[in-house]
Amino acid sequence: MGYIGDTTANDSDPMPMVSSTESRQNTDSSSSVNEGSSVQRSSSQNSPPIEVDKKSERKAENGKTETKSSLPKEIANDLKEAIANEYWDTVSLLLSWHRNAIKEQINDGNTALHIAVGIGLNDVIRSVLSYTAGNLDLTGIINNDGSTLLHIAAIVGNTDAAELLVRKDPNLLHTFDKNKKKPFDKAYENMQLHTIAYLLEAIEKEEKKKKDAEEQEKKKAARVEGKKKKDKGERKDKGASDEDKDKTLESVLGGHGKSKEAAADDRKGKEEPDDDRTGKEGPDDDDDEKQNEEPDVDGKGDEEPDVDGKGQEEPDGDGKGKEAFKVSDHLPHVEIGANVLVNAISAKEYEVALDLVTKNSEYAASNDEVLMAIARTFPSELGYVETLFYPIPAAMVAMRVGASPIRNIEKKKEDYEVAKKVLNLVCDKIKGIKEKGACDYEYFYRGPILEAACQNAYDVVVEILKKWPEAIMCKDENGYDIIQLATIHRSEKVYNLIYDPHFPKSDYRTKKDSSGNNMLHLVGRLAPSNKLKLSTGAALQLQSELQWREEVKKLVFPSFATKENIFKDTPDMVFTKEHENLVKEGEKWIKTVAESCSIAAALITTIVFAAAITVPGGSGQEGVPVFMKEVAFTIFAIADAISLFSSATALLVFISILTARFAEQDFVKRLPRRLIIGLCTLLLSTTAMMVAFGATLFLVFCHDKLWMLAPLCSLAFLPIAIFFILQFPLIIDLFRSTYISKFGKSSKINLNDIPFFFSKGVVRN
């Protein structure tokens, strides 16, 4: 068997050869290939539609299914081998030239198109669909499981292929496999969120088209009925007018019977009796009705005014007209839709979630799981550094060229904005249900606001408080409210609510739980691992824990710092016990960093000290350097001195870190400050050393070659850039955690505008 070597058709052979077997088949009788069909190719068009197999169509109309393929065995083998070897161009051509090959089951009961959809070969699908005629029934292309191509696209999440298939044959949306599953059901079972969103949209469009078509038919029928009644009314009016004329004539003539009879005969000659007066059928009326009806049915007649109002659109039986069409009438059950929405939010596919909530708000308020999922996965805002860095022009340029860090910032910003819209829509829907008296706020808001307090989802907490101020009183099964949970789970944004002047923070100065733990006992517990990992290294994690303890100390009464719980443990005892391992890990981490950096500082000190003694180019007989008057030599001297002094400083700082006592309080300010100084001076010494080295190379080797200055500078700053990229994030984290407090920031809302509360004394123990 030979595959296509040249796919271009010459003038003498409009049908390119696929294989030798295919050539023989084209010369033989068409009974073994396509009975009653022919393949036509135009010389001006490379790939026209394939003519439909008439015999197959007749069998399909009779409800019969071909059990035996009419595809030649040689072509089937060619197709199977092309698929096995992944010759997809050949597969595309074979499917385009042989109509029967499209439905041929090749591997494990799957057709070639099933395989293409499953592995995402959308170009092959697009090519084959473009070659086939418009009346191709894609619902008949099934595998052994009865799955159509759209079923496979739904299973694997191939949304692009699903769009191609639905555009070609919308009936695929409503086909069942052998398990009575539609494509949407398969997408839901495999939780392919993007495909689910597309299928919902496609179903909505198809149902909308059907609804509009039905409305148009009703309008046409109403217009026809109105015209019938109008014509009957005109004929009745005409008959009444003639009778009035007869009476007038009779009175004028004085009752002469002959004139009366003549007038009656004249009238009878002009008019046929109406059906309702004579009981006889009027053929002329029937013809008139047909003439009036036919153009309107075709939509070609002029629209007549509606006489009795029946030409207007009437509401349905439930009192709802066309405007009452709702997505929920044809989309999946609310429970399924809500589950899809929850999974979309949990997967952080906020665009999909927004699309679902917008199309059917019933999903948002079916249960509390939707708002709970938002509370668990709500994205954070841009950080302090990200907010400063994002708007600058260089960052925007980097984003457009695809720089990963900037793209991540952009995505984070977009996710936050979309998630905020989803949150607002969900809360608005819950509020609407509450106003109708159909739900209880506590059912929807209690769990989510407590979860949001644990996850530091400040926006969720604020939005719930706006809708239901009493949520501030909600407690979990252990009796903890949102501020206590924020303390335990280190949610500083939620904890900062106490800094609002209207918040009753005095309640928390003496608040205790069932075990006698005050706020200092709660903050003495070790933070959850997911919150600890937000800080770089064990030393910064311990620093964050110590900062939390210091902050809560400002809240409670001083006497509570030594209060014992029911287990006879003071807050300090709880903290020391819970953080014993973290203190050891922090000491080990900071020593490892100091040792590594001290070695680098010592090496730099040695190098630049030797370079200062043996100047480039040497010295003259009087000891004066040869390149004394050169600008490059001056640069070398200054850079070498800076490198020597800064490296020596860094070395001394790291030695002081290694000899520290590593007490708990040392991790708050002292050790992080020393580490910042050591890293900054080490970065400075490295930069100055490379500048001095570049100046030396220029003096010795490139004095008369100015063109070498650019590559020298580029190579000299390469290690500086690498060191900056690798170590600068650590310096930023150290500086931010040491000198920028995350506490004491007022909330973004004016709590006095929320009617909870505080003036009325609603929030109390």
* Ranges 65-74, 221-230, 718-727, most confident: 718-727
Q: How far is CA 641 from the centre of its chain?
A: 55
H/E stretch holding 105 reads strand 105-107
Distance CA 662, CA 664 (A): 7
Band (pLDDT 50/70/90 cuts) for residue 71 is low
Q: How far is CA 399 from the centre of its chain?
A: 19
pLDDT in tens, 638-647: 999 999 999 9
Q: For the structural domain made of 584-739, what CATH number should be given? A: 1.20.140
Q: How far is CA 404 from the centre of its chain?
A: 19
The confidence score (pLDDT) of residue 519 equals 94
Least confident of 265-279, 343-357, 383-397: 265-279
The confidence score (pLDDT) of residue 437 equals 66
3-state secondary structure of 510: coil
More confident residue, 695 or 601: 601
Band (pLDDT 50/70/90 cuts) for residue 305 is very low
The CA-atom distances, in angstroms, between 383 and each of 395, 531, 703 are 15, 16, 48
H/E stretch holding 110 reads strand 110-111
Render 169-227 in DSSP notation, one character per residue: -GGGGG---TTS--HHHHHHHTT-HHHHHHHHHHHHHHHHHHHHHHHHHHHHHHHHHHH
The confidence score (pLDDT) of residue 356 equals 84
- Same topology, domains 363-580 and 584-739? Answer is no
Which residues, 6+ apart, have CB-to-CB distance to 625 below 8 Å?
Answer: 615, 616, 617, 618, 619, 633
pLDDT in tens, 154-180: 899 888 888 888 888 888 888 888 888
User: Does the structure show a pLDDT above 80 at 230?
Assistant: no
Q: How far is CA 535 from the centre of its chain?
A: 28
**SS3 track for 400-428:** HCCCHHHHHHHHHHHHHHHHHHHHHHHHH
Sign of the CA dihedral with 610 first, then 615, 616, and 617 last: negative
More confident residue, 624 or 448: 448
Distance CA 748, CA 458 (A): 10
The angle, 0 to 180 degrees and rounded to 10, between the axes of the packed helices 458-467 and 404-435 is 20
What's this model's pTM, rounded to 2 decimal places?
0.66
Distance CA 287, CA 282 (A): 9
Distance CA 281, CA 279 (A): 7
Neighbouring CB atoms inside 10 A of 637's CB total 18
The confidence score (pLDDT) of residue 741 equals 86
Q: How far is CA 605 from the centre of its chain?
A: 53
**Tokens coding 102:** 């499209």
How many percent of the chain have pLDDT more than 90? Answer: 25
Which residues, 6+ apart, have CB-to-CB distance to 6 below 8 Å?
Answer: 16
User: Does the structure show a pLDDT above 50 at 315?
Assistant: no
The confidence score (pLDDT) of residue 620 equals 62
Least confident of 96-105, 457-466, 532-541: 96-105
The confidence score (pLDDT) of residue 723 equals 82
**Tokens coding 497:** 């609510």
User: Does the structure show a pLDDT above 80 at 719?
Assistant: yes
More confident residue, 455 or 41: 455
Band (pLDDT 50/70/90 cuts) for residue 390 is low
Average pLDDT over the chain reads 73
User: Does the structure show a pLDDT above 50 at 64?
Assistant: no
Band (pLDDT 50/70/90 cuts) for residue 697 is confident
The confidence score (pLDDT) of residue 235 equals 61
More confident residue, 333 or 103: 103
What are the residue ranges spanned by the domains of the chain?
A: 20-136, 363-580, 584-739
- In the predicted model, what is the mean pLDDT of residues 494-519? 88
The CATH number of 363-580, from 1.25.40.10, 1.25.40.20, 1.10.760.10, 3.30.230.70, is 1.25.40.20
